[in-house]
Structure formats: C-alpha cells, structure tokens
Amino acid sequence: MKYFFKRVPISPWGLGVSICLLLLLQSLQVGAQIRVSAGEKSIVSIFNQIEKQTNYVFLYDKEVTQIPNLTFSCASCPLAQIIRELESKTNLEFKISGQQILVKKKVEKNESTDREMMKLTPSKQDTIHGRVVNEDGKPIIGATVLIKGTRIGTATDQAGTFKMLKLENAKEIEANSLGYHPEVIQVGNQKQLLIRLRMKAQQIEDVLVSTGIQKRERSKLVGNISSIKGEDLEGAGITSIDKALRGKMTGVYVRSNSGRPGETGSIIIRGSNTMTGSAEPLIILDGMPLQTGDVAGMDKTNSNINNLLTNGIGNIPPEDIATIDILRDATAASIYGARAANGVIVITTKRGEAGKDYINYSTKQGLTMRPINTFNFMNSQEKIAFERQIYGDFHPVYGGRVNQLLYQADNGNLSREEAEAQINALAAINTDWVDVLYDHAYQQSHNIAMSGGSTKLQYNASLNYQDANGTLMENQFKQGGMNLKLTRNINDRILIDFNINSTIKKNREGQSNQDPFRYALFANPYEQPYLQDGSFAWDNTYRNLSNDLNYYSDLNYKTFNIIRELKENTLSTDYGNIRSQLGFEWKFLNGFQYRGTGVLNYTNVQTTDESRAGTYRSYAENWLNSAITGGAGILPKFNYGFLEENSGKTIDYTVRNTLEYNRTFQEKHYVQAFVANEVSERTNNRFFHYNPVYLQEYRMAGYPSWDDIPASTYKRLDLSRLGGTYYERDRSVSFISSFAYAYANRYVVNANFRSDGVDIIGSKNQFTPLWSAGFKWNAHEEMLVKEQMPWLNRLVFSFGYGYTGSINRSVYPFHTYTLSALVYDDVAKASRFDYGNPVLKWEKKRDINYGVQLSVFNSRLNLEANYYDNKVTDLLDRVALPASVGRTSSIVNAGVLSNKGWELSARVEAVKNEDWLWEVGANLTTVKNNLDKVYYKKTPTVSSLAAQNVENYAVRSWFGYKFSHIDPSNGHMMVHAQAIDASGNITGDEVIDLSKISSADLQAKYRTYFLGQQDPKLYGGFNTRIRYKSLSLTSNFVFAQGNMIKGFQDRREGPSGATDDVTASRTNRLKNQQYRWRQYGDMTDVAFYSQGFSNYASYLIDKDVESGAYIKCTELGLSWRANPTMFKKIVKQLQLGLYANNLFTISPYSGTDPETQTAFGYPTTASYTFSLNVGF
C-alpha cells in the first residue's frame, strides 16, 4: 500500500475571506450598469447608446422614430430601470424577446389600431414565411429580418425560420446577423423565402475564444489556438471526440490505440515532452479540469480496459459539444502553468439560450467490418509439407500435429498408414481463424437534447446512449449518459450556473490466456473450432505439448479450444461517473467581474474477472501452480476456476475564485486584467479480493484445502494475491494572473503568470513560478492596408515566449518499499526498493513561437504558418554516481529535450456561389525531437528489442544492427555493426556473425546503428467538402511519416516468443519460412534453424523495424439537409447522412495498422454509419 499525505500550505484566512465574499455576493441583487449621457436627445440615439453597451438590439417602426426628443440621462443604471423611465416619459411599450427588444407605440383601449403606415385592410393582410441559412445551408439562429428601411421585423428561431406580416408597400426585406453580410431580398409575390448570408471576412476576429478560464476575442488573444465547432463533429459517423478530431487541427496528432469499441486514442500536441511521464494533454470541460487517467491500482487488472473506461474525454458525446479550443503554445496555455506542458484541450458544451427553445434527436446506426487476414501465412497443405521438412531435419520432441503423428509412427504408437491417413484428413481442413473469431459488429447511438429558456433561466439537457459490439466475439460495450446545464440570471449583474454530467459504462469481454488475434494468425489452419457433431475440437498444437501424449499426462492440458475460453471466461467492467459544477458570477462597478466556480467529480469502477473451472485459463493462471508442482502445472482436481473482483473509486474537486477587469477606453484602448486562486484535491482508493476456487454456475467462491499443499512449498504461495487495498491522495494549489492590452485592435500584448504547488514534491521546490508573454500585430487593421489593399482581409504577425510545466509522478521525495507475501527465514521480504529524491523539481518547458496568418479575397484563401522552438528541462532521468555512495545511479531532474518544427495550414474556397461550395483544407506539422542531455550518452553496444532514450537522438529511438546477408556456407545471420576501440570510439563498419557472437564480445567491440524513431516526424490531415444546395459530400484523410515501428516477425510475434525456430514451427509460419537455409550453398534471406537458442533472435536488426508512414481515409460522407419549410411547424430541421470511417489505409507497413504502432492488438477496421438528426 502507498500513502501520500504531504500537505500543501493553504492560507486559512484566505479561504475564510473567499467563503465570506461568496456569501456576500449571493445576497446582492443589482442590475447591469448602463451609462446614458445627459442632454436632450432622440429616442433612437438612446437606443444606440444602450446597444453599444449590451448585446440587445432594438426593433421598432417608423412611428417610434417620430417621438419628440426628450431629456434623459443615467450615469449608471440597470437596463430594467432605463426601460421603466422611458415608458413613463413616452407612450412607448417595450417587450424583451431573447436578445431583441421590441418597441411599439401604446394603443389606448378606445383607439383602433393605426393602419395608416401599413396601408392595408385586414382582408389584404398576408404573411411571409422564410428561412435564413449560412453558405453551408445550416440555419442561422437569431438573425434579424426587417422590412428594408424600417425596424419592423422579427428574428429567426432555432431552425433559422421566421414569419412576419407582408406589407403592401414593402417590396424588399433585409436579413442580418452578427458576423455576416446583410442580404436584401425582393419580396414580390413570394410567400416562401430562402435567404443565404455570407460570412464576413473579419468574423473570425470577432469570435470569442475560450481558454477555459477566460474568454477573449481572437483578435485580442496572442497564442496558438486551434478551434472547431461542435456542429462539425456531430454528423461524421463518429461517437467519440478524439476520433472526430483526427487530422482536423494543426499541431494535434490523434492516434488510435486499437479498434476496441469505446476506447479513446492518444492525443499528442507538438511532439513528446517527456521520457517517462504522461504525454496526454490537460482536458478542460466548461472551464474546469476534467478527470482523466486510471483509477488507483485498476491498471493491475487490465490497462486497456482502464483506458477504455476511465478516460474522461470519452464521456462527452459529440452532440453535446459547442466548441473545442486546443491551446498549443505557452502564450495560450501558460495560464494552466505546471499542467500544460503537453497542451490544453478546452471543451465547451452547449448551453441554453433565451427564446430559442428546441428539441433535437439524433441517432447513428453502423456496422464495423471484421478484420481481414493480410499476412502471408501458410495454408494447410503448405504447413503439412513444412512440418515434414522440420521433422526430417530435426526429429523434434515437440511440434505440430504432423510432427506428433510422424513421431508416434516412428516410435510404434501408430502404424505408418494410420499416421498418413490422419495427415491426409488434416490436409482437407483449411480454417481461417480470423473469420472464426471475428465478425462484423453492429453499433448504435442515440442522443436527445432539449434547450431553451427565458431571459431569467436558460437550460440545456441531453440524454445519450451507445451500444457497440466488438468485432471480436464475446465483446460488447454499452454507455449511457445524462447532461444538464442551467443558467439563472438573478438580474443583469448576477448569474448562477449549474452543470451536472453523469455517465455509466459497461464492458464485457471474453478472456483467454492466449491473445485472440495472435491465435487467429498463428493457429494451424488444419485445426478446427468444432467437430462434426458440434462439440468443441481440441487444439493440442498451439500450446507447448510433448509429442508423446502420455508424457506427464496428468499435468498436460489436452482440451484447449479458444472459442470455449472466450465464452466461459469473462471480464465484466462497470464504470460510473458523476460530475457536478456550480458557478457564481457577479459584475460590479464598471468593468469588474467576480466568478467563483467549484467542481466535484466521483468515479467508481468495478471489475469482475471470472474463470470457469476446467478451462485452460484456470489451469495456466492457477494460484496453486508454484506451490504444488513448482510451476509445472496443476492436477485436474485443482482446476476449479477463480474469481477476482476489484473496486476502485476516485473523488476529486477543484475550487477556483477569479476577479477580472475588462474595459475599453476611448474606443481604442482595450484592457483586461485577471487574478485567480485555485485549490484541488484528488483521492484514489481500491480494494480487491481473489478466490482460487470458483463455481461459476452457482456463483460460489472459496479456497482450496491447505492439506494438499506440501509443507516444503507452502511458503511459495503468493498470499498478497488473495486481496489488498490501495490508497493515494494528491493535493495542489495555484495562484494565477493574466493581463491583456490592445490598441485600436491593431497592437496586442498578453502576459500570464501562474504558480503551482503540489504535495508530492519536496518542500524545497514545491512551488514553480511559470510565465508567458506575447505580442500580436493585426496588420490588416492599419488604415493604409485597408485603403491600399482592399483584397486583404486578414494579416496577423505574432510572437510568444513562455514556460509551462508538468509533474512526473514516477519518482517520490521519499523512499518506497514494495513488500511481498513471500517469506524468507520467517520474514516477509521486499520485492522492490526505490530511493526517494527530496529535491525533486517540476519538469519545465520553455516555448518560443513565431506565427503569421493571412486571409485574402473575401476569405476565400486562408493561410497560417507557425514556427515553434520548445525546450524541456529538469526531465527525470538517471545520473551516474560513484559506487562509494552505495549505488551507481540515481533518478534526478537532469534531462533536457527539445522539440522544433513548423505548423502549416491552408483553407481555400475554390468554388463559392449560391448553389455550389467546394472548399479544400489541409494542415501539416513537423516535429524534430531531440534528447539534448540524458543518461545514455552513446549508442548502445548491445541492441535491445525495446526503443531507447539516447542523447542526441529522438525520444524512443531504435538501435540495432544492419542486415548484410545469410552466410550460404552455414546459414548464419551476418550483420553490420560499428567497431569501436578500447576507448569506445567508432573505428568503422564490420560484418559480424550475429548467430554465434557472444554478448560480451558485442559489448566490448561494437556499437549499434541508429535505425529510426518511434514517433512520426511529420503528421497532418487534408479534407474537402462539396456542397450543392442541400447535399454535401465530405472526406477527411490523416497521414504521418518519418517514424519506424516494429514490423511483423513471425518467430518473435508468435506464441513461442523468441525461442528457437524449430519449437516456433509447431504453429503456423509465414510462407517465406519454407525457403529457409537448409544446406551448404543455399541462397536465401531466412537464417538456418536450430533446436537451441539463437543469438540473433534477441537482438534488433533493421529488418525488424519498418516504416510507420501511412495515409488513412478516416471519413467519407454524404449528407442531405431538408428545408424545414416543407414540414411547416412540426419539424424545424432534418439531416440524413451516410458515412464510411477508416475506409482504407495506404502504408508499406506489414503489421495490422501503422497508426496503432503495434504489429498486434485489437485491430481497427472500416465502419459504415447511417445518421439521422431531427429538430423540433
């Protein structure tokens, strides 16, 4: 067990003041402060002053403008008070609807409605229906539709539709919305109108970008931020956010880890920034950190399942997303300080809007295809002939069925005729085990959302459900969730918001002691899953059995069947999470705003691992193995199954208090200042128990009789496996400040500061101050540019410099002992001891960024380029120590790595008119990763099968020998190695015999070559979209290159591991193994076989790694959006779509999928999805 209790010093009086201030703020009930200058003025000028200070728009007719001027002033009044005074001084009445304020003249009870302006009689009145959409055909909500030249009109609803009176003398109507060019339409005799608005070139400057803690106009924000709207993620046939982001955002590399349903991928921003810590970015949900990572100790059961169920980003359905902003450099991300070295992903979910009520339902129905066996393995006839070769050359004791039959015939257990008859029967069988174990998998998801509200209360609520079968048999994943978001405007100054999210997941997988995909490839094709009578057939060749079936007959397991294993052994995992967030906001004085936010998160994970009595898994993983037979197996009477249950939970909270000042002076000087304090704590605990006897059908668990365990081996029992607990607690406190200044929206300066402290670092370096500063020049705002280059819409130059950091929790400031249940001399012995480091530091990243953005020709062509230079110091790494101190090395903050590269993106609208739109986008990121200072200074003398960290090379690089040839005289593996002298200096290249050279000679005389790095040097994506009226065709591709990953090597990847080739040949082999070296003079690239261990199998050579380059089509879709006017009032929107995901991959890699960077695993395959989105 581990206990982490160290306190972070938090000021009690500071917390007390914060609590008192919060209580005080809750008691205040005041309105928004608006200033109306004194003097006699028209009603329209008063409206204009109010519009400049609020988000409201006044709608009125010509009659309102004819009201006489009035004397009116207000130094600081709420909107409600101003409206009351205007109503008392005029004969006007006001009605607030959403963000519009409708103004009309009061009508006396004895006065008929004034129709002079309309010049219509009741019989002549008519109405106009219409819809306002953007260039993509998507509805524009809240657009203003007016009779041209008047303020008579209305606003569009959630579906972009409107309805208004048609006036006899009104020939034109004008539609307008923030960020769009106004459009004037001739009415004529039309009653159904479709108005398409074009986005303004400067609209991107006006968009508010969220850093999670602050919101600021993009034009006033320095830093690299990639943004994507939720509507771009909804219909892509994707049910998780990470997959929806692939290839769509500059600098962001999203890599799938497997094809398991529900599992999230890895997200890396601008290269790897650590050697041993987590490379995952910080996730911010609605302004507060989102829990990610493992529940304490649960990774000891199944790390893949833990990733599947406990990664918080997987809890958010794409349908609930409003925007995603990714902070890529320190100028943007340093506000998160020591948690932001890997970048920050800011997710903002949808919220309700006043007067925009709607109900929306969406569903996705899809089919994921089974994997295809593309490996060039032998068929039954080839494998039988190959086994005959092996038996003739070596007469092995172990082998496949043919080897077994020939061996028994030679030893008189069978006649030669019987053996040949059985071999001929095997030749008639040719099983494709991939087709047997994998199948097409159906998946579905549903989401229903309700949103709307009044000016006082806004709401957004949604329910979601997902049901996905895996392509592997006996695999099913289910997920359900609920999200509720409420905003209560107490008045124009105070609001309270409350969010609650809840997610439940359940995953069920069949379990086997053998990897199913490995089995599907390597199982002999002459084996079969079932006998003719439908009973299970037994595979006695996949496992290491003697040819003499009577040898150790009581200990040998003879009834192995992979399908039985997957059906009768199960791992069920249940996940539950609830996250609640409460915020309080108060605007006071002139430009000040206080916000207090707290979030509480609870997660619980339960796993039940059941192994049925009599299965091979129960036999091989039985707790009694080591104590009864010394590891040779167990007798059948002890094969009674087992049950292991784990329960883990995590509780974490974060409380943040912020004070912000935001104001513009003289319409030129924009100032924003911000200070904040944040406190968080996370507690993990886990409990587990194990029963080595389990009768699954009766749900009865127990323990074996101790009398059957010999006294001499009793102490071998690992009692710790029977149960235990795990506890962990982390606490942190942060102090934050930020400043922004902009002059005339042209020259912008940003600065951030943050200091974080955690309990896991020693008191000497517990707090780390981190800062950033940046400058931006919006050159397109210069008057000379506007006058001389009207075709230039946007030209921005930026520079940023700053620091972020991360904490590596692989080392602690105190010594740790890991005690085992094994006893030596009646004393429990420690299985592991790790020295502590009391002077641990944060890993710190310095970030330099240069950027330029260009937009021309009415934003038809958009380009962006960034160059970044990052250096991470104080990386945890080993340093050499003199042996006199009692150890030869220690882990300290001594490492340095750097990442440099370019980010390039482009978007062009090649065709754009009322009916057609064709746009193409692309992004590319280069990463030059280098370890500037680490423990290993030179390339290794002896190669390793694992990637290594060596100075002046990239993180996770490959080092090994270069293949030369197979010696035709003896079949030995000949490779190139770098020869060294006695001082370790490289003297040249030599060809050596890797089949017989000793490790001592390799270490003393040679060095390895650099064979490549595991992470790509270049990645990105490109996409295109073609729209014709209501039809859209979209495609998205991702690519990566410049990396090397382990290729498929059948001997090493097979169930025998790196044992000799003869033993490995009992299971299936690649066809090229038929052409192995067998005799003097053979010319081949396959080395000789031996029955003993071969050196070359444990060393890495260049043939073992392959290019990881790929281009993958992640999305190809066709969608249709209906005109809601065809449904009248019932349906506001309807969209149908057909999508293909992971359609194909172009790559030279021989493994299953280069994106996963593994030769094996749960394969990713193509999927086809139908989507429906309907709004009411």
Q: What is the pLDDT of residues 62-76, one digit of tens each?
A: 677 778 888 777 777
- Co-location of 892 and 1033 in the same domain: yes
Cα–Cα distances (Å) from 94 to 84, 278, 288, 320, in that order, read: 9, 57, 39, 35
- Co-location of 594 and 705 in the same domain: yes
- Helices 79-89 and 43-53: crossing angle, nearest 10°? 170
Domain containing residue 66: 31-107
Model pTM score: 0.82
Q: How confident is the model at residue 631 (pLDDT cuts 50, 70, 90)?
A: low
- Which two structure tokens, joined as six digits, stand for 681? 């704590």
Q: Is residue 36 part of a domain?
A: yes
- pLDDT at residue 284, as a whole number: 92
Q: Is residue 759 part of a domain?
A: yes
Of 1035, 1070, 1101, the last residue of a domain is 1101
Q: Is residue 169 part of a domain?
A: yes
**Beta-strand relationship, 126-133 and 192-196:** parallel
pLDDT tens string 561-583: 999 999 999 999 999 999 999 99
- pLDDT at residue 823, as a whole number: 65
- Co-location of 889 and 986 in the same domain: no
Q: Which of 269-273, 651-655, 703-707, 1120-1124 has the highest mean pLDDT?
A: 651-655
Give the rounded distance of the alpha carbon of 508 from its chain centre. 22
Distance CA 614, CA 762 (A): 52
* Number of other residues whose CB lies within 10 A of the CB of residue 998: 9
* Number of other residues whose CB lies within 10 A of the CB of residue 1111: 15
**Beta-strand relationship, 962-966 and 1167-1175:** unpaired
The residue among 629 and 10 whose pLDDT is bigger is 629
User: Total structural domains in the chain?
Assistant: 4
Distance CA 970, CA 1096 (A): 14
Residue % of the chain over a pLDDT of 90: 49
What residue type is assigned to position 299 of the chain? D
Of 173, 200, 227, the last residue of a domain is 200
Does residue 300 surpass a pLDDT of 60?
no
Distance CA 1034, CA 1115 (A): 8
- pLDDT at residue 169, as a whole number: 67
Distance CA 1171, CA 363 (A): 6
Q: How confident is the model at residue 110 (pLDDT cuts 50, 70, 90)?
A: very low
Longest Cα–Cα distance in the chain: 121
Which strand (E) or helix (H) includes residue 931? strand 928-933
Give the rounded distance of the alpha carbon of 191 from its chain centre. 48
Domain CATH number, residue 49: 3.55.50.30
- Co-location of 985 and 919 in the same domain: no
- Co-location of 1002 and 1131 in the same domain: no
Q: Is residue 220 part of a domain?
A: no
The residue behind tokens 């003719």 is 532
Counting runs of H as helices and runs of E as strands, what totals does the chain give?
Answer: 21, 59
Give the rounded distance of the alpha carbon of 1010 from its chain centre. 31
Q: Is residue 12 part of a domain?
A: no
Q: How confident is the model at residue 112 (pLDDT cuts 50, 70, 90)?
A: very low
CB 652 within 8 A of CB 672: no
Q: Which residues contact 535 (CB under 8 A, 6 or more apart)?
A: none
Q: List, in sequence order, every beta strand (DSSP E) within 32-176.
A: 34-36, 40-41, 57-59, 70-71, 74-77, 92-97, 100-105, 126-133, 144-147, 153-155, 161-166, 172-176
Cα torsion angle, 1063, 1051, 1002, 897, sign? negative
Domain CATH number, residue 127: 2.60.40.1120
pLDDT tens string 313-332: 778 888 899 889 999 999 99
- Co-location of 891 and 965 in the same domain: no
- pLDDT at residue 19, as a whole number: 35
- Co-location of 1009 and 1023 in the same domain: no
**Beta-strand relationship, 321-327 and 225-229:** antiparallel
Does residue 681 surpass a pLDDT of 70?
yes
- pLDDT at residue 179, as a whole number: 67
Q: Mean pLDDT across the stretch 910-917?
A: 88
Q: Is residue 1155 part of a domain?
A: yes
Q: Is residue 218 part of a domain?
A: no
- Which two structure tokens, joined as six digits, stand for 62? 């010509």
- pLDDT at residue 832, as a whole number: 77
Q: Is residue 998 part of a domain?
A: yes
Give the rounded distance of the alpha carbon of 913 from its chain centre. 36
Cα torsion angle, 469, 471, 473, 474, sign? negative
The pLDDT mean for the chain works out to: 84
- pLDDT at residue 382, as a whole number: 97
Q: Tell me the backbone φ, ψ of residue 216, rounded to 5 degrees.
A: -150, 145
- pLDDT at residue 104, as a whole number: 77
- Co-location of 501 and 618 in the same domain: yes
What residue type is assigned to position 1032 of the chain? S
- Co-location of 454 and 484 in the same domain: yes
Q: Which of 529-533, 876-880, 1093-1097 has the highest mean pLDDT?
A: 529-533
- Which two structure tokens, joined as six digits, stand for 1105? 């790694």
- Co-location of 895 and 781 in the same domain: yes
What residue type is assigned to position 674 of the chain? F
What residue type is assigned to position 321 of the chain? I
Cα–Cα distances (Å) from 659 to 19, 597, 678, 685, in that order, read: 14, 12, 12, 35
Distance CA 821, CA 831 (A): 9
Distance CA 992, CA 965 (A): 10
The residue among 162 and 291 whose pLDDT is bigger is 162
Does residue 980 surpass a pLDDT of 80?
yes
The mean-pLDDT minimum among 152-161, 670-679, 789-798, 833-842 falls in 152-161
Q: Which residues contact 1047 (CB under 8 A, 6 or more apart)?
A: 1103, 1104, 1105, 1106, 1149, 1150, 1151, 1159
Distance CA 230, CA 346 (A): 12
Does residue 909 surpass a pLDDT of 70?
yes
Of 1085, 1101, 1117, the last residue of a domain is 1101
The mean-pLDDT minimum among 61-65, 341-345, 476-480, 721-725 falls in 61-65
- Co-location of 38 and 179 in the same domain: no
- Which two structure tokens, joined as six digits, stand for 383? 């494998």
Cα–Cα distances (Å) from 1052 to 470, 734, 1046, 1058, 1071, in that order, read: 27, 49, 11, 5, 16
- Which two structure tokens, joined as six digits, stand for 843? 């890993």
- Co-location of 838 and 958 in the same domain: no
Q: Tell me the backbone φ, ψ of residue 1103, rounded to 5 degrees.
A: -70, -15
Which letter, b or e, does each residue of 593-618 get, where b requires 16 or more Cβ atoms within 10 Å of its Cβ? bbbbbbbbbbbebbbebbbbbebbbb
Distance CA 1119, CA 408 (A): 65
Q: How confident is the model at residue 1130 (pLDDT cuts 50, 70, 90)?
A: confident
